[in-house]
Amino acid sequence: MLCASLCLVNEETLLNSVHSLAWPPRQELQCSVRGHEAGHICRMGSAEMTLPPLIETLSGRYGSPRNLATGGFIDPTVTEQRGLPLLRPFGTAVLEMRAWILGGSWIGCGEIDTGEGRRVVLIIATRPAPVANGLPQGATWLDRLIALTGHRADREYTVDWVAVESRLGCGLPADYKDMVEIFGYGAFDGFIDLAVPGLPSEESDLVGDALRIAGWARTDGYSMWKPYQPFPAPGGLLRWASTEQADAFLWLTEGPDPDKWPLLACGEEGEWSRFDGSTTEYVYRLLTDRTLPHSAARHFETHWFQSYDG
């Protein structure tokens, strides 16, 4: 029986083991459960453990989960690239499974039928690197970004762009708007936080952040990004992404066509770099080009998008 062969642990031990097992990704995960193949490690919770608190804690660390199984029903779209390695070891015993991505690892938390009742399980599995090559001719930078991260949008992030651009008083790059509708609120590689409209937090909301910073400049003469002025000053800077390390990614809003705005990045020490290209190309290169200033490629080899949508 599954219950007899899986290692039983308490909630604190279960949660503490997650990051050490998932990061950095190991060459080979070898489960100690008899009959389980290599490529994962699983742990079973104690009898009194319940699933919701674990999901809440893991979501606070790794973003919104994907729902692979609920009530014993498996998502029919699940594949190797979409979480199947978390389900395979348990076969038909899976009752619930939520999934998160951390680089080259899958993190799964769910419930299985042990034959003696329901029991919480945690599983860390190797995540195959998404394939960004072989896209059809004419693929956009957004297509490449989706392929690179293996992103699967469970639902479209809906934005009233007319209202957003009316509040700002200008248009926004078309590929940024497409990227937001596909990816929503979250962070590329859990590192580059995408600012999107419609969020309650001013700091994360594209419009709220712009108006807040413009207010500081108007009332106090304060500019975060000297020698530049913040938007809506002519040629001012408009922030569309940032990192925990205080890197800021901004559009230089010069000229009437937002699709031609240059992109600037400012580091924690005030160092500047410029990129002439589209927003989605810049994000793609930030994830893949180690030579680019502020690149995440120096830290991560396998890429993902950590969603913060509830």
Tell me the per-residue pLDDT of 148-168, one tens digit each, with 9 for 90 and over: 999 987 678 899 999 999 999
**Contact by Cβ (8 Å): 94, 75:** no
State the pLDDT at residue 8. Answer: 60
State the pLDDT at residue 4. Answer: 43
pTM of the model: 0.89
The backbone torsions φ and ψ at residue 266, rounded to the nearest 5 degrees and listed phi first, read -125, 125
Domains of the chain: 2-126 (no CATH), 141-307 (3.40.1580)
- Residue 125: enclosing H or E segment and its boundaries? strand 118-126
According to DSSP, residue 229 is labeled: P
State the pLDDT at residue 180. Answer: 97
Nearest-angstrom CA–CA distance, 113 and 92: 9
Nearest-angstrom CA–CA distance, 272 and 266: 5
State the pLDDT at residue 1. Answer: 43
With a cut of 50, which residues of the chain have pLDDT below it?
1-5
Smallest CA-to-CA distance from 209 within 178, 239, 181, 183 is with 239
Q: Is the dihedral angle over the CA atoms 222, 228, 233, 239 positive or is it negative? A: negative
Which 3 state secondary structure label does DSSP give 189? coil
